[in-house]
A and B are shown apart, each in its own frame.
Chain A
Amino acid sequence: MGKVLVIDYTICNGCYNCQVACKDEHVANDWSPIAKPQPDTGQFWNKVHDKVRGQVPKVKVTYLHSICQHCDDAPCIPACNADAIYRRDDGAVIIDPDKCRGNQLCLEACPYEDVIYFNDSLNIAQKCTFCAHLLDDGWTEPRCVDACPTGAFRFGDEDDPEIRALIEKAEPLKPEIDAQVGPRVYHIGLPKPFIAGAVFDSEADECTEGATVTATNVATGATCSAVTDSYGDFWLNDVEPGEYTLVVEKGGYLVQKLGPVDATEAVNVGDIAVWKV
């Protein structure tokens, strides 16, 4: 029965418990034959990245996670010329620390970033093991999941209906690659670009509520729109990366056009003044 890990980015508070618990489990503890000790610092079998998006005051932080995807067709397995990498029945992909000869071919073969590290002092490649040594000792989940306070990390059997429901909500990390390798780590709520700003009546110096802001993708012509709140704020969330032109409309006011703006990541277009007709 295959195990899976589901990471929900929408409820990750960035406490780093997962990264720290991974260190607590694997630094200075030898879990052979599953894993030898992780170096104290600089290497992460479960790495958190602070992704800060937008500009003051429209800023959001999402915490991204780099971790072995435990692929069903893991490219690291055939790439290893020492036959040191294997896939367990529960799906965990393990680099056998005794068989690894330090050729580092797996590091090249892995299509994901910050997953496999090379431990110079032991001359072996190392990465997440799903804490297989604990699963074998009766644990139901790895350390990172046990340490997670919000439920952003969930671990379980892929046939469990609760887990299945989460997998339904997941989206691919790298669509083309995921389709080829079959990762066992699922991602919910990966951050997407937003376009935000605030509309105000410059003569009255009042925030303009109820204005419609429409963004048009310069390349595709696709549009989306949002209505401003009592602060004049609008958030066009989860737009496709690209350049957009914006149109601001409200009855009794002149139509305002601006752009193109670059929404490759996320952009606060700032305060947009509108004038009464």
Chain B
Amino acid sequence: MAEDMSKTGASGEKTLIRDISFCGVPENGSNASMVDVKDGKIVRIRPMHYDWKYKKADLNPWKFEVRGSTFEPSMKTLIPPYSIAYKKRVYSPARIRYPMMRVDFDPNGERNPQNRGKSKYKRISWDEALDIIVSEMNRIKETYGPTALLYQCDQHGENKVVQACHGAGRKLLRAWGGFTLQIRQPDSWEGWWWGNKHFWGCEPVGQGQQSNLLWDISKNAELLLFWGCDQETTPWGWQGQLPSRLSYWWSEIGIKQIYVCPDLNYAAAVHADRWIPVLPNTDAALYLAITHRWFKRGTYDKEYLATHAVGVDKYEAYVMGEEDGVEKSPEWASPICGVPARVIKALADEWASKRTTVVIGNGGPGIRGPYATEPARLQGICLAMQGLGKPGQNQAKMIEWGLFDKPDQYAQPKPLRVPYLRKAYTGGHPDESNHPSFIPKTYVPKAILEGECDWWGCESETADRVNQFEHYKYPADGCSKIHMVWTDSPSWITCWNSGNDYVKAMRHPDIEFMFAQHPWLENDCLLADIILPVNTKLEEDDIAGDIFSGQYNLLFPEHKCVEPLGESYSDYEIAVMISERLGLKEEYTGGKTIPELIKYGYETSRCEDLITWEELNEKGYYAVPTDNGWEDVPAGFYNFYKDPEKYPLTTPTGKLEFEAQGLAEHFPNDLERPPVPKWVASGISHEETLETERAKKYPLLVVSNHPRWSVHSQHEDITWLREIETCKVTGPDGYQYHPVWLHPSTAERYGIKDGDVVTIFNERGAVLSGAYVTERIMPDVVYIDHGAKWDPIVPGELDRGGAINTIVPRSTTSKNAVGHAVSGFLVNIEKTDMEELKAKYPEAFEKPFHPCAGPGLEACIWGRA
């Protein structure tokens, strides 16, 4: 590769470096990319080459030399296809180019909230839009008080720092007098957060300590158990594809890889030495049976447990049937989890005989299912019984290497410095709380539809374990009910629990005004009364870091690649415009301009002593070298393993709590998250297993992973992704349906053929989908990933886009844990009678859609089609 040539060569192109990643948290940048531009147009987007302006030796490259082989980071960033295709997102037919208002919304007359999701939009000017927004804010504040405004502004979106993709209004609203904050409950960490913090601590997320685990695995592990982990998918939007290269190398050096998951996910498809299909969200039974085998044969580390754990006897009593008369044997577990008893025994024996690391990746049963706390804690128990923290025996993550700026989350070789851009960040951060008025995101529909609710904990995404014992309610004392919604993260419907309830909540007459700001007309935008157009990040100046790649850390100023499309502005600029009309601009901006904020970002980046501002701008980036001595950083739980007294955990006892002391004290009678983890087939929150009565009506379990071809709801309009065979299935009507994977035997039983349009339904609603008949899914299970773009036929009831989250459980993880449960639930399916449906809903099927980009602006603009 020769970047200099593209910069200075005959082509006349200019190369700019951009962070094209999608976490939306300032310290979690990644996927540094080179954007070549010419004549005001993006020519191409490609991997960033570290050696563009530095020599390889400047980077002090790390190396794993072990078992006769060497692994080194690549000299380029390993960006995913979303980053390469991002030009299509910039110029998407779904881009919002000017402010719009719902045609039947009249702030001085009929508001017609019942038509949200149905009505079309007309163009208005920025002045009109801002006048209405500000006068509604003032009216709401005078009528109900400021907490009547619900601000939805949590992460997952483009990574921006100064231009703040999400939450730019938080500081403004505080100056304005207050608001109610939607707190993103810690999603994709549910079981670890609500479960394992009570088992092994590990604040703030509850996943195991990660430091130096990539090196530890390479040196010491003999067996890797990828449990609901797809490192060929989930890390893409966050950090790129080093996990892929590592996985190939681990196979090459003889580390065995077993994948436990209902679907042959994209990692299992290319890396698995063995695939163990397990019925969705039944892994708790499988873990219990494994430990039963170990107790029975004595194949676990009793000495370790004596010094490192508490409550083992109570757990053993449950497993061996002394508590309830049922031994949790492989024969007991087999019909529940669908794994033959002999395979469970073989797995238990292999695990006990080899140095085994369990590998997770923010997917699978530990997070996304009803009662996720149970499989999550039981996984921890399995690890503990074999001596957690011994070399090669940890819980390793394939994602978020360096999460929340925590040293113990650095699985990769430690860099000399971690660039830090929090200080210049203008948006909302996951660790902020908003007392007294906040609602966990999972409870927003309940709060609005029922008018009141209460819950435990969740004051922020990083709240510690003991916060789970604090009780809160909506409306908080002295605070108002919600009457206005401001969203800058309009992807609720397709990403959260029971999206159909959210649709109903936003159509509730209590919600007098809702406005959204976003670059694309998608998902929750379709419910807003006013929509404001936002730039993509390629249209803005900013500063960024790349810290998640696992290769080298980077710091770079970001220059605008192209001019903003239409009348769009950045989220931060929009907050500034609102602040101006509220008379709060000086207070909000602190008098700083955007260029000043960018420079301030550098000055507070922790790298300011390593490179001057001038050199940074001249080179375009700073590549942080690897720290000397990275090899010596203790791996994972090693310190705790060596000396649990000196390095205690953050549990009440400092030990691994097989019986959680905090839960025993505060929730002794909670059957859904009992002090000792259990197999919970059903309870007051959920009936979502095959053992329940509901299964007679809805006999199929759904597994729903993070999507391969989008990041949650992002990138659904990229034509180059939609034409990939596992991304969309084109129906006979030319509409690209979201795929549902069916095993040939399941498809045959339901009379469904590959390519058919299929209705997936339960009592919470129905979604249409395109059948993808494949051996990559076990029989009697359906796989559909989440994040498909919502395209309602009947808002709140029936969706054409395939947004499966519209029909996932409305209850949270469990009674006292407000995580969401979005995989491992019951449905039925049938071949869709398209003619009947078209006759019933002619209007919905006559809506125009882009044949290759899906539903866009055209269907929603007043006066067209």
Contact = CB atoms under 8 A, between A and B. Distances in A.
A122 to B, nearest CB: 18
B46 A147 contact: yes
Contact of B779 (A29, A41, A56, A147): A56
A21 B275 CA distance: 31
Given A16-B724, A41-B723, A140-B2, A149 B245 contact: yes
Interface stretch (A7-15, A72-80, A174-182, A213-221): A7-15
B6 A138 contact: yes
B1 A20 contact: no
A140 B1 contact: yes
Contacts of A29: 43-44
Interface in A34-64: 40-42, 48, 50, 52, 54-61
Nearest to B724: A16
A147 B244 contact: no
B342 A139 contact: no
B275 A141 contact: no
B275 A59 contact: yes
A23 B85 contact: yes
Given A41-B719, A140-B1, A24 B44 contact: yes
Nearest to B330: A205
B1 A54 contact: no
Given A59-B275, A150-B245, A17 B80 contact: yes
B723 to A, nearest CB: 5
Contacts of B276: 57
A40 B776 contact: no
A3 interface: no
Interface residues of A, number: 49
Contacts of B74: 149
B778 A57 contact: yes
A117 B74 CA distance: 34
A23 B345 contact: no
B241 A230 contact: no
A146 B47 contact: yes
Interface stretch (B176-184, B266-274, B361-369): B266-274
A24 B346 contact: no
Nearest to B34: A146
Nearest to B6: A137
Contact of B346 (A21, A59, A61, A230): A230
B774 A52 contact: yes
B530 to A, nearest CB: 32
Contacts of B85: 20, 23-24
Interface in A135-188: 137-141, 143, 146-147, 149-151
A17 B81 contact: yes
B54 interface: no
A40 B92 CA distance: 12
A147 B47 contact: yes
A139 B2 contact: yes
A213 B737 CA distance: 44
A21 B5 CA distance: 19
B87 to A, nearest CB: 6
Q: In the complex, which range does the number of interface residues on chain B fall in? A: 35 or more
Given A13-B232, A21-B84, A206-B342, A59 B721 contact: no
B350 A230 contact: yes
A258 B40 CA distance: 67
Contact of B5 (A41, A52, A139, A233): A139
Contacts of B4: 138
A269 to B, nearest CB: 14
B67 to A, nearest CB: 18
Contacts of A14: 232, 266, 269-270
B547 to A, nearest CB: 18
A186 to B, nearest CB: 19
B447 interface: no
Contacts of B724: 16, 19, 48
Contacts of B45: 24
A151 B47 CA distance: 13
A55 B774 CA distance: 9
Interface string B719-736: 111111110000000000
Nearest to B91: A28
Given A52-B775, A207-B345, A24 B274 contact: no
B720 A23 contact: yes
Nearest to A54: B775
B264 to A, nearest CB: 5
Given A20-B720, A25-B44, A52-B776, A15 B274 contact: no
**Max chain B Cβ within 10 angstroms of own Cβ: one of A15, A27, A140:** A15
A138 B46 CA distance: 16
Interface in B215-274: 232, 236, 240-241, 244-245, 248, 264, 266, 269-270, 274
Contacts of B1: 139-141, 146
B84 A17 contact: yes
Contacts of B306: none
B76 interface: yes
B244 A61 contact: no
B614 to A, nearest CB: 28
A130 interface: no
A59 to B, nearest CB: 5
A149 B241 contact: yes
B240 A149 contact: yes
B57 interface: no
B852 A40 contact: yes
A138 B779 CA distance: 52
A214 to B, nearest CB: 22
Contact of A15 (B80, B275, B343, B725): B80
Contacts of A151: 245
B81 A206 contact: no
B10 interface: yes
A143 B241 contact: no
Contacts of A55: 775
Interface in A218-237: 230-233
A50 B79 CA distance: 21
Contact of B342 (A41, A61, A205): A205
A28 to B, nearest CB: 9
Contacts of A194: none
Contacts of A230: 346, 349-350
A244 interface: no
Interface string A236-269: 0000000000000000000000000000000000
B5 A137 contact: yes
Contacts of B10: 137
A173 to B, nearest CB: 20
A138 B724 CA distance: 31
A146 B343 CA distance: 42
B743 A41 contact: no
Nearest to B277: A57
A235 to B, nearest CB: 9
Contact of A137 (B9, B46, B232): B9
11 contacts: A13-B244, A21-B84, A56-B277, A56-B775, A60-B270, A138-B4, A139-B2, A146-B46, A147-B46, A205-B341, A207-B343
Given A19-B724, A149-B74, A205-B331, 4 more contacts: A13-B244, A15-B81, A24-B85, A149-B79
Which 4 interchain pairs have the tightest Cβ spacing? A138-B5, A61-B269, A149-B241, A149-B78
Interface of A: 11-17, 19-21, 23-25, 27, 29, 40-42, 48, 50, 52, 54-61, 137-141, 143, 146-147, 149-151, 200, 205-207, 230-233, 271
